[in-house]
Amino acid sequence: MNCPGKHTKYQPEEVEWKCSTCGAEAGTFAIMEPAAGALEDCELLHDDDAVGCYDCGNDNYESGRSFARRIQTKKHLVACPHCKGKGLVKAKAKSGKKK
């Protein structure tokens, strides 16, 4: 069954699930509150999921959208110009030369 929830463009890999405050990894750093309308058993990250950490107890949950975007930026991924933004590709390095 398809999940009706809005999924993030970038789906973080398990090794990327780390708390930005204390460094806790997947399992300890997790989805604290699933997005409204998302299927209960959907394993994908949703824009409106609330992501947080059990270790440091930080109550300032981050949205799934913000978490995914942070990792996407760190990995220098941008929307693919050929598939109208449905996929992500490495950003091209900007050259210092002017034409």
- The residue with greater pLDDT, 28 or 80, is 28
Note the pTM of the prediction, 2 decimals. Answer: 0.77
The answer to whether 77 and 87 are in contact (CB under 8 A) is no
Provide the pLDDT confidence category of residue 86 given band limits of 50, 70 and 90.
low
Quick check: helix, strand or coil at residue 87? Answer: coil
Closest residue by Cα to residue 64 from 3, 9, 4: 9
- Whole-number Å distance between alpha carbons of 37 and 22: 30
